[in-house]
Structure 1
């Protein structure tokens, strides 16, 4: 990544961070009538995102192996690391959920 790309990426990140801060300030506090969050839906969504990362990584690897001139090794490596990191995070969440379940099951009634 060239220094120009790094600088533009840094500027984009700062702009997005500022927008996120403004959006969090604009969000109203939750009300009792607010829509309830579905834990299973959130979990499924997270797993689907990890799966998407894994698929995208595999597609880029295959494209590089096939000699696609539009795919660079750096793209493939970055996507592979993103997929690996998201999978590792999902694994840690699963471990914490199993640990919490075991702790609840061992509680006296």
Structure 2
């Protein structure tokens, strides 16, 4: 089963950032799958929080925040969330398939 997402570069960018965050301070070993997953989820959360903050600033008519920047941030957050949702669905499906296997 192939779990790679190759259609959109934005989630992969978040995944690479999450992988960098998952590496311990020594940099010699990775924290593993759980660390990468936690890092990716935190990156998605950061993107959503940034989009929400920019949206609030646009609503408050802050001249330093443009509507274009806000819309791009909202789209990035939405794409990241959709990719996370697809990964979660695939993980649940893989778990279900494994649990239904006869031993």
Common topology (TM > 0.5): yes
1:36 CA drift (Å): 5.1
CA distance in 1, matches of 2:83, 2:97: 21
Structure number with higher relative contact order (C-alpha < 8 Å, ≥ 6 residues apart): 2
TM-score by length of 2: 0.70
Stretches (4+) displaced over 4 A: none
Which is greater in Rg?
A: 1
Query: Is 1:95 aligned with 2:96?
Result: no
1:35 CA drift (Å): 2.9
TM-score by length of 1: 0.66
Higher helix content, 1 or 2: 1
Gaps in structure 2 of 5+ consecutive residues = 1-27
Corresponding residue pairs, total: 76
User: Could you say which residue in structure 2 is the equivalent of 1:52?
Assistant: 46
The alignment yields a C-alpha RMSD, in angstroms, of: 1.2
